[in-house]
Amino acid sequence: MSFSTFSGPLRSGTQRYNPGRNTGLVVLTQSLDTGVVTAGAGNVDTPLGILPQGSQIVDITVDQVVVPGGSSTSTVSVGNTSGGAELMAAVATTAGGRFRGTATAATQLAWQTSTTADTPVFVRYAVGVAAGVGRAVITVSYVQRAPDGSQNPTTFEN
């Protein structure tokens, strides 16, 4: 098995042009596996990836696959700056399982990424008590749109 890299956006459907256009854009993902976090109390900031210019985030999930031990706590936030939470405010993940941040107007606006440059994505894994360990997989799902943010071509391009 191998990977294939292409320049998007990638449309799928049988009718590309009006009036019966039924094409849609493919949802892509980038993920970060924190590995087992054994840091002392404090923040672990890690780059997750870079989203192409004009992309739209459609979901951010946190799968806490190893729960922190003892009395430790953990929270995860996602931002477009190191230590930031512009894309997802901190979510308590101590219990383990799948989590999503609370959507606000500010986070939803930030999900409409830059139309002038690629958008870096960072994860902050905050450890509450030094004795704990934990592991999370953070996934950002997004649609790669045209660099200006448009979802459909304005001309008969292929």
Query: What are the E-state strand segments in the chain?
Result: 11-12, 24-25, 27-33, 42-51, 56-66, 74-79, 88-92, 97-99, 119-127, 135-143
Q: Given pLDDT bands bounded at 50, 70 and 90, which one contains residue 157?
A: low
pLDDT in tens, 114-154: 888 999 999 999 887 765 678 899 999 999 887 777 766 55
pLDDT of 129: 73
Beta pairing, strands 11-12 & 74-79: unpaired
Q: Given pLDDT bands bounded at 50, 70 and 90, which one contains residue 85?
A: very high
Could you count the other beta carbons within 10 Å of the beta carbon of residue 112?
A: 13
Average confidence (pLDDT) over 20-25? 79
pLDDT of 60: 96
Report which residue type is found at 134.
Answer: G
Report which residue type is found at 37.
Answer: V
Whether 102 shows a pLDDT value over 60: the answer reads yes
Whether 7 shows a pLDDT value over 90: the answer reads no
Our measurement of the distance from residue 22's CA atom to the centroid of its chain's CA atoms, rounded to an integer in Å, reads 26
pTM: 0.87
Asked whether 122 and 30 are in contact (CB, 8 A), the reply is no
What is the C-alpha separation between 19 and 16, in angstroms, rounded?
Answer: 9
- Of 158 and 3, the structure prediction assigns the larger pLDDT to 3
